[in-house]
Structure formats: structure tokens, C-alpha cells
Amino acid sequence: MGEKHHKTDNGEASFSYDSEWKDLLEHEDFKRELREDILESYIIKQRWYGAKSSTLKYIEIIDNFVIDNDENDRFFGIVIEVNFKEAFVQNYFIPIGLVDDTSYVDNNYIAKLELNDLSGYLVDAILLESFRKLVFQKIIEGRKDKYPNIEYRKGRKCEPVEYKSSNFLGAEQSNTSIIYNDAYILKFFRRVYIDQNPDYEISKYLTNKGHFNNTPGYSGSITLRFSDKNVITLALMQELVPNEGDAWDYFLKNIKEAFFKIKERETETDWHQLKKLDPFDKVRVGEIDHTVLDLCGRDFFEDVEKLAFRTAQMHVSLGLERISTAFTPAPYSYDYTVWLKNRVMYMLDNRINLLENSLHKLEGMRLDMAQEILANKKLIKKRFLDFDEAKLKSERIRIHGDYHLGQVLVQDRDFYIIDFEGEPESTIRDRKVKQPPIKDVAGMFRSFNYAVYSIVFTYQSQLHQPLETLSHIADVIYSNMVSVFLNTYINEVQINNLNIGYDKEIEFLLQYCLLEKAVYELGYELNARPRWTIIPLKGISNILNDHTYE
């Protein structure tokens, strides 16, 4: 057996079929070395590895398959199961290739291999253009692969085009995305599940059945059949939406400009005279107080209105299905209530314990609010346990599940909703549970709250106003954003016969979901950004002190 290389179109050297590389994963000794020695040290350094705070126990290779063509390009896909000492597991997908020169991957290789007279470098195949081109061509062809357990599917929003170029989308943490021909984006899921990924399911549904145009169109996918009844979604390809960035940066810029207008007019206006709207007020843009409208700009609130309209359209599309049980709307039930209460009570106990153990990290207003929350933990539990499915007449649907400004792209003052994977802490099955669409609305409202208060706490020293005044203005801006959004959203879903309930039911669900979201956020902030805990703490406090809930 000799070492035989061939050059790909871009000059990368990979190994031919007749080398030992062809049967690499049939060697048990190599597979043992791969899982025990090579992958352990490699994956813990990767951005997409989601368990850096846990202790890795051992790795198993639970599936592997060939990715090749008739031109002597050959790669392997491997699915690994990572077992942790904390008694849980996670699955990850890594495509691998072999090259003889690390310059092809900027010296970013997994390990150097010596197999008999074969010498080379094991690399993550996604770094190789030859691999990226190969999988794109397989998706575009849309044919069943010669290896029966792997399927490359072409979607409706996919034209039969030739491969021209591929580039990485650099900002991601949990996945790896490739931009093809400046027209498509292929997302490789790094952490995978033995089930269809919700992002794949919902993207495909919204394109093929929901006809919702303000999301990237489903263009293709790669699926691994893990067993007779189980599949793993490895990759999702969608149309590339031209955009100016996400809605978080877009709204943050406008909110910052509004607060710096306050600085310019600090002697002209009594800001405490501005009225914060009630939590469930619904207003049109033309009804907003002229001082608030002048401060933020009419365009700002028209953008909120447009975002509400697109959110409503998304939910109406998700609620259209009457055949596929995965998407048909469902009533509230006792089983759902048991699932919900178990879930939120587990989360609350975790957050309360974390907050008690983190008091030493907090000071001033943050510490005062944390102690208020701890003193009221029985009230929070009561709010969560008060959920009664018998009083709810609306329907549950599949929802986005992790909806916030960062999940929305902006282009020409319009909004495109992305990333339907769901809440990162949730199990794959929990992410697919039908929920009130109001939960997505609550997620967006919490994101509005973050955007407004992040400006207050970031620029407080430059705004020449007491924190009390800035907080009041923040509450005024936030309440107007919420009221404009609610007015548009509720009108649109009701016109299109999506059953979200009447006013009292909407108010109950919104308060419930806002509290759930704020408690959820508390965990992230305590672990990652203790200074920012003031935002979820204030959100929880506002809900507890809002007597319209009672």
C-alpha cells in the first residue's frame, strides 16, 4: 500500500481510495485511539462544545459514515456521545478529513496520524473547501446517497446551480455555518440530537406549507438515519437573506440616540411627567405621547409595529396546519399543565439556589432586589402553580421558543426571523412541545427590556441624569414599545383566526410567560454577567408588584 495523493480544484491534497484512509474507521484500534486520546483534548477547545463547565468522563463513537464522490474525495462523518461525570450525555457531529499539509487549514488540525506508511493530518473537514463543495453538490443534486443511512435533500427554495464559492459565517458559537455562492447558508449542527432538529422542522414547514416569506427559505438538509425509527439532523441549508445586521443592534442604536437626546434637553423637560403606560395598554403609533414620540422618533415605533406584524404572521403560519400532528394546534390539557409546572418549578428551584449562593457577587440595588426576590420566593412559586388549564380556551402551537431581537435580521426596515432551534437549556423533546404563542411575545418583550436598560446601565455616567430618572424614562419607552407591539400583534392574529384567547387570558399568559422568561434569564446573568442581573431582577420585581395580575 503506497501513499497516493490527488489534488483538488483548490490545490488541497487528500488521500486516494486505495490508501488506508479508505477504511480508516474500520480499524478498531484507530477508533479507540480517536475517542480516548484524540477527540477528548480536541473538542473541549472548540467554540461549539457546550459543556465546558462539566467534567468529561469518556467518549463513544455511536455512528460513522462515508462522505465521498466519484472524484476520489473521501471524508467521514462521525457522531460522538460525550458522557459526563455529572451523569448526563451530549451528542456532537464532527466531519473529518485527512491532508498532508496543515497550511490548507491554517495549522488548525485535530491530530497527526501515522498509519503504517501513511502519514497525514486529521482535520475537521468543514475547514476544507473540497468537503464544502462536495456536500453542496450533493444537496443540490437532491438524490439518495449510495450509503443508505445518509440523505441529502434539496428544498423548494433551491435552484440547480454550480458551486462557485464558500465562506464561513464567523460569529457563531454552537454551530458552524457556511455561505455558498453568496446565495445560501448551510448550518452544520455541532451538538446533535437523535431526533429531527426543530430548526429544520419549522424552516421546512414555514417554506413548504406556512408560506411565511420573512424567514430564510428552506433550501436543503443532510439527515442521518440513526435507526429504523430515529434520525439525526446534521445540517440545514436556507436562502441567504441580505441584511444590515440583527434587530438587537438596530434597536439598541435607536434607543441610545433617544437617551442622548435626553442629555441635550436636560433643562428643558421634566422627564418625571412622562406617563408609563399600563402593562396591557394597546396603542397605535399616532396615539403615543408627543414628547415620547419626539424623543424616540416615529420611525422607531413604526419599526416596533412592523416587527409585531411579522411575529403575528409567523404565528398565524405555524397555526395553519390541520393534517400533520407535529404542527396542528392543540388545546390546553392536564398533561401539558403537569409538564409545565414540573419544568418551571425545577427551573425556579435552580435559580433560587443559585441566587442564594451568589449574593456575595452583588451589591447596591442588585443586592436589594435579589433579597426582595428571595423574600418573595413563595409568591413566585404560587404564581407558577396557579396555572389552570381548565380556564384557558385558546390553543397551543409550535412556536419559535427562543424569540428575541438577536433572532431577527433587519433589511430595509423589514424583519426576517431566524434560528428555530429553541431554548438552549431545554431537551429536544421539550422544544417541540406546543406552547402559547404569547410565550414568543413575552420573549421579545424581555428583549425590549434588555435593550432599553442596557443603554441605561452602560451610559449612565454620560447621561447626566440620576438613575431614578433614567429608569423612569426607560420604563416609559419600554411600556410604549410593548403597547404598540401588542396592539398590532393582537389585531393581526385575531383577524387571521389564530385563537390566542380574549383579553383576560392573554394578560394571564403574558404575565406568566414574562415571569418564566425573567427567572430563566437570571441563571445566565448570575453565571456569566453578575452586573447584568439587575435586568431580570427588576423584571421579576415589576411582575410581582403589578397588581393587575391578581
β partners of residue 7: 13
Angle at alpha carbon of residue 121, lines to 115 and 125, rounded to 5°: 120
Domain assignment present for 314: no
User: What does the pLDDT read at residue 372?
Assistant: 94
User: What does the pLDDT read at residue 483?
Assistant: 98
Domain boundary among 82, 107, 127: 127
Same-domain status, 63 and 173: no
Same-domain status, 103 and 161: no
Domain assignment present for 93: yes
Q: How many CB atoms lie within 10 A of CB 129?
A: 19
Same-domain status, 90 and 172: no
Domain assignment present for 81: yes
Same-domain status, 86 and 60: yes
Same-domain status, 143 and 225: yes
Domain assignment present for 304: no
Domain assignment present for 397: no
- The residue segments making up the domain with residue 191 are 132-239
Cell of 161: 446551480
User: What does the pLDDT read at residue 25?
Assistant: 81
Same-domain status, 176 and 109: no
Same-domain status, 119 and 196: no
Containing H/E element for 307? helix 298-318
User: What does the pLDDT read at residue 4?
Assistant: 39
| CATH, residue 220 | 3.30.200
User: What does the pLDDT read at residue 73?
Assistant: 85
Domain boundary among 188, 220, 239: 239
User: What does the pLDDT read at residue 30?
Assistant: 85
Same-domain status, 98 and 177: no
Burial 388-412 (b: 16+ CB within 10 A, else e): eeeebebbbbbbbbbbbbebbbbee
Verdict on whether the full-model pTM lies above 0.75: yes
Same-domain status, 57 and 154: no
Length of the chain: 550
Domain assignment present for 361: no
**Residues contacting 389, CB < 8 A, separation 6+:** 332, 333, 334, 336, 337
Tens-digit pLDDT string for the chain (550 aa):
223 344 555 556 454 444 566 777 887 888 888 988 999 999 999 989 988 889 999 999 999 999 988 777 889 999 999 999 999 999 999 999 988 888 878 888 999 888 767 778 999 999 999 999 999 999 999 877 778 899 999 998 988 889 999 998 876 678 999 999 999 999 999 999 999 999 999 999 999 999 999 999 999 999 999 888 899 999 999 999 999 999 999 999 999 999 999 877 766 667 888 999 998 999 999 999 999 999 999 999 999 999 999 999 999 999 999 999 999 999 999 999 999 999 999 999 999 999 999 999 899 989 999 999 999 999 999 999 999 999 999 999 999 999 999 999 999 999 999 999 999 889 999 999 999 999 999 999 999 999 999 999 999 989 888 889 999 999 999 999 999 999 999 999 999 999 999 999 999 999 999 999 999 999 989 988 888 999 999 999 988 887 544 4
Domain assignment present for 176: yes
User: What does the pLDDT read at residue 422?
Assistant: 95
Q: How far apart are CA 336 and CA 132, in angstroms?
A: 42
Q: How far apart are CA 370 and CA 401, in angstroms?
A: 27
User: What does the pLDDT read at residue 229?
Assistant: 84
Same-domain status, 118 and 28: yes
Rounded (10°) angle between helices 534-544 and 364-375: 40
Domain assignment present for 352: no
Same-domain status, 70 and 153: no
Domain boundary among 108, 127, 146: 127
Q: How many CB atoms lie within 10 A of CB 275?
A: 12
User: What does the pLDDT read at residue 156?
Assistant: 87
Same-domain status, 103 and 38: yes
- Look at the chain and report how many structural domains it folds into: 2
